[in-house]
Every structure is written in structure tokens, then in C-alpha cells.
Amino acid sequence: MSDYKLLINGQLVAGDMTMPVINPATEEPVAVCARASKGQLDQAVAAAKIAFPAWSRTTMDERRAVLVAIADVIQANLTDLARLLTQEQGKPLADATGEIFGASAFFRYFASLDLPATVVTDDATSRIEIRRKPLGVVGCIVPWNFPMILMAFKVPAALLAGNTVILKPAATTPLTALKLGELIKDIVPPGVVNIISDANDLGGEMTTHPDIRKISFTGSTETGKKVMASAADALKRISLELGGNDALIVLDDVDPKEMAPKVYGAAMQNAGQVCIAAKRIYVHESMYDAMCDELVKCANAAVVGDGLEQGTQMGPLQNKAQFEKVMGFIESAKQDGKVIAGGGRKGDKGYFINPTIVRDIAEGSKLVDEEQFGPVMPVIKYSDPADAVRRANASIYGLGGSIWAKDSNRAWDLATEMESGSVWVNKHADLQPHLPFGGAKFSGIGSELGEDGLKEFTQVQVLNMAR
Ligand code: NAD
């Protein structure tokens, strides 16, 4: 019997099936958890539909109180949740702790927002207001790289706007989400939040479900396209946070020694499994050799291991399929460039890959053109900064990007030319709850976080009265 149950209509429910969850550091099962059937998804949606009218009529203060209570219970269970996250996801415990804390902070952030009606006209002839109405049942679909923080981009915003929720974590990282269900069972009214886990087989059922009014999806671009296509029939609202291939451009006035650890960190956090990791590093020719040498030092000094072990800086790839995919990127990079650090698996147990640096590589190579989503960094030479930006923009993706220079005004001007949803200067991947986050081009549709992210969970209504 599994300890990790579904949350349906306020009850913890055993799955119609069960499934093992593998610790990527050991390749051993962490736990056996519930796996929902299509019938259980239908039950969850029915419960959310029944719960919607009452929840949507609660006051903002009542909803805020629920969000704060969820934030409190996450924080109160920080240590256990972080440990579980490391076991199922692989990331070092300090990073897992940061992720869980971040999730609670995002619930608190959304609890500070409001959705006031805007009075456009109020005179002798008419009163016109623009209001924001909830949509109904919202499906939140989450990937495996940041199971908790990405959940917290969606669930509190959906709830604050007055929607009810079906949360579906990724098949390889369901445990923290199911644990959350246990923790919030008595905090949230029955049916308002339902949590189901699947074996990668219920996402499509959610996107076609007639009673789900919106899908908030984070995952790969390929799956995002399927979500968009299958949502068309019911004209379902969608927001898509998809893949990226962020360029990080280093201008010629920086000190390579000082710069290299920052570039390394931007690319290798979470073993490179970050949608806004720096995935293509463009370095000016005047310091190319020096920068490559410094990056090699960073890679060789990294402590790769089980995230539960003290001192580990980089954990394993999260799952076997991703491990194999990244090993494929390394093999192709060996043909297209020169591997100067790492270049293969670490050990023979667990999905560990040594942080890998590849130089003398350029566009036309799979490692540069596609999203590697792993600890393999292509370092690309350029001579003209405007050309580097043009090459950065010549990608189907447009999630993030950054320009680094001592002369920050010069970097700022170049940054304005970048075709991505977020552009940073002298930093990378700085996400803050009040800033809208979304992708250009194939990196997504719509945005999350901030007031824009909250509004994505609403329908505009104009209320227009004659006097
Ligand atoms: P994935 O697309 O394989 O899976 C994501 C989720 O979608 C999982 O919960 C999965 O079960 C579900 N799913 C699978 N098939 C589905 C279908 N037909 N319809 C609906 N849902 C379905 O992605 P992944 O491999 O888990 O995650 C890695 C990808 O996510 C990378 O490309 C990464 O860049 C991207 N990502 C993007 C962001 C962002 O905010 N833009 C953040 C994190 C990750």
C-alpha cells in the first residue's frame, strides 16, 4: 500500500494503480506512489467543478488566508519536503531547501495581490467597469526539473483568481506534490485543489477534458504544441512555458577569471536542467582561450554526487531518458567540437554526468542549436558583438538571455536587441515573483508570475450600465 496518495475532493485516495519513483542518484525506488486512472482524473475534475461556484464567491481575503495557510504548512515541513525533493529529483539538499522555501514565498507573494475592478466611466450617462472573473476548473501541468517552485507559479495564482485546480506533477517527480496534498487536505475546502499523479498518460486527457477551462502548462516545446492542438476543440485557454536555448554573451572588457564562475553557475545549476540555464556561451575572440581555460577549472573542481551528501554541488540528471539524451549530445559534440572538461558519465550507478565544456563548436551543431537540458556547455567564439546578438536571436527559442560587460551601458544597448522574454545584464536567470516570466517564439505563450501571471487565470468582463 502506498503512502503517497491522490487528493480528490478533500480526501486522500489510493490510486487505481501504483508506480515506483526512482531516486536518480541510486537508481533505487524512493517509494511506491499512487497512479491515477482516467476515471480518477474524471472524479477530480467533477469535484473541482462542484467546488467552483462556492470558491469563486469567496472574498479575496478568504482566499488569501488559504494561500497563507498553505505557505505556512510548506514552511513548517521544509526539512522533510526538501529531503523528499532531493530523493526524487536529485538536486543538492541546499538547492531543494531553497526550492521549497521559494514555493512557500510564492504563495505568500500571490496572497499580497488583488484583482480590483477598474472603473472606466462613472458619470450621468453610464457606469462602466472592467472586471476579472475566474475561469472555472484549471489544469496545472508541471515538469520534473523544479516540481515545487513551478507548481507555485501556478496554483496560488489560479486559486487567488477564484478558480479550482487539478495539479498534475511529472511522472518521475510526483512525491513532493502528493505530500503537499496530504499537508493541505484540511486547509483547502474539498475539491478546490485536487492532485493526481500519472505515468505520463493523463496530461493529454486533461487538455481534452470538456470540464477543464484552462491549461497552465510548463514543459517541453514538443509537448506544448500537443497541448495547444488538443486544447483547440474546446477553445480551452492555455498558457505555455516551454523550452529555451538561452544565449549568454560575454563582451570583451571582462576579466575571464572573475567571469568564468558566474558563467559556469548560469549554465550548470540543477545539472543544467533549468529552462533558463545559459545553454550557449558566446565569448569574444580576444579572451576565448582564457575563458575556456577558466571554465575548465570550474568544471574540474565541481563536486558531483548524491544530493543528500554534504558538499555535493551537482546532482544526477533527473531520469534515465534525460541522462541518455544528454549523453547523446556529448557524443555529437565530440564530432563537432573539442571536449575540454568532463565528457561522460560519472561512476556506473546513478544518472551522473561530469560537467562538460566543449570549445571550437558553432551553430550547425546539435549542442548549439537544440536544448541540451543538462551539464554540457558549448563555448562559441565571436568577433563582433552585434553579430553575437544576431546569432543568439537565430533560434526558434526565446526564453531568456544575458549580456555581460564592465561597460554596462554598452551591454544594456545590446540587451534591447535580444529576442527573448527575459534579458539580463551582468546576471542570468534572476526570477522574481513580481516580474512577469514568459517566452518569445517557441518558448511559450502568455506569462506567469506578477500581476500579468495572475490575470492569465481570469476572463475579462466589461460591465456597462446605462443611467
Ligand atoms: P514534458 O513536456 O515531457 O512534460 C511536462 C509535463 O507534461 C509532464 O507533467 C508530463 O506528464 C506532461 N505531459 C506529457 N504529455 C502530455 C500531453 N500530451 N499533454 C499534456 N501534458 C503532457 O517536459 P519535461 O521533459 O518534463 O520538462 C523539460 C522541459 O520543460 C524542457 O524543455 C524545459 O526547458 C521546459 N521547462 C520550461 C520552463 C519554462 O518556464 N519555460 C520551466 C521548466 C521547464
113 lines ligand 1 (CB under 6 A): no
What SS3 state is found at 423?
coil
Pairing of strands 164-168, 118-122: unpaired
What SS3 state is found at 255?
coil
Catalytic one among 241, 294, 448, 456? 241
Query: pLDDT truncated to tens, each residue of the chain (467 aa)?
Result: 468 999 999 999 999 999 999 999 999 999 999 999 999 999 999 999 999 999 999 999 999 999 999 999 999 999 999 999 999 999 999 999 999 999 999 999 999 999 999 999 999 999 999 999 999 999 999 999 999 999 999 999 999 999 999 999 999 999 999 999 999 999 999 999 999 999 999 999 999 999 999 999 999 999 999 999 999 999 999 999 999 999 999 999 999 999 999 999 999 999 999 999 999 999 999 999 999 999 999 999 999 999 999 999 999 999 999 999 999 999 999 999 999 999 999 999 999 999 999 999 999 999 999 999 999 999 999 999 999 999 999 999 999 999 999 999 999 999 999 999 999 999 999 999 999 999 999 999 999 999 999 999 999 999 999 99
383 lines ligand 1 (CB under 6 A): no
By alpha-carbon position, which residue is closest to atom 6 of ligand 1?
143
The closest alpha carbon to 444, from 272, 220, 278, belongs to 220
204 lines ligand 1 (CB under 6 A): yes
441 lines ligand 1 (CB under 6 A): no
The closest alpha carbon to 60, from 131, 153, 121, belongs to 131
200 alpha carbon to ligand 1 midpoint, in Å?
Answer: 10
Instruction: Answer for the pair 250, 263: CB distance below 8 angstroms, yes or no.
Output: yes
36 alpha carbon to ligand 1 midpoint, in Å?
Answer: 19
399 alpha carbon to ligand 1 midpoint, in Å?
Answer: 15
223 lines ligand 1 (CB under 6 A): yes
220 alpha carbon to ligand 1 midpoint, in Å?
Answer: 4
- Concatenated DSSP letters for 321-366? HHHHHHHHHHHHHHHHSEEEE--SB-SSSSS-B--EEEES--TTSH
Instruction: Answer for the pair 133, 213: CB distance below 8 angstroms, yes or no.
Output: no
What SS3 state is found at 269?
helix
**313: which DSSP letter?**
-
Instruction: Answer for the pair 373, 272: CB distance below 8 angstroms, yes or no.
Output: yes
Pairing of strands 214-218, 440-441: unpaired
203 alpha carbon to ligand 1 midpoint, in Å?
Answer: 10
Nearest ligand 1 atom to alpha carbon 143 = 26
d(CA 2, CA 35): 10
What are the structural domains of the chain? 6-242+443-466 (3.40.605.10), 246-432 (3.40.309.10)
326 lines ligand 1 (CB under 6 A): no
Instruction: Answer for the pair 155, 194: CB distance below 8 angstroms, yes or no.
Output: no
d(CA 264, CA 256): 12
Place of cell 506534490: 177
144 lines ligand 1 (CB under 6 A): yes
By alpha-carbon position, which residue is closest to atom 11 of ligand 1?
200
In this structure, what C-alpha cell is assigned to residue 5?
496518495
By alpha-carbon position, which residue is closest to atom 9 of ligand 1?
170
In this structure, what C-alpha cell is assigned to residue 8?
480528490
By alpha-carbon position, which residue is closest to atom 40 of ligand 1?
241
Nearest ligand 1 atom to alpha carbon 146 = 43
Question: Is 241 annotated in the active site?
Answer: yes
d(CA 367, CA 123): 61
Instruction: Answer for the pair 243, 221: CB distance below 8 angstroms, yes or no.
Output: yes
d(CA 214, CA 284): 45
Instruction: Please name the helix (run of DSSP H) or strand (run of DSSP E) that holds residue 65, with its range, or none.
Output: helix 60-76
Place of cell 510526483: 174
Cα 166 to Cα 15, 94, 123, 181, 413: the distances in Å are 15, 29, 43, 11, 43
337 lines ligand 1 (CB under 6 A): no
By alpha-carbon position, which residue is closest to atom 26 of ligand 1?
143
Instruction: Answer for the pair 378, 280: CB distance below 8 angstroms, yes or no.
Output: yes
142 alpha carbon to ligand 1 midpoint, in Å?
Answer: 6
Rounded to 10 deg, the angle between the 147-160 and 78-89 helix axes is: 120
Angle at 179 between CA 316 and CA 446, to 5 degrees: 75
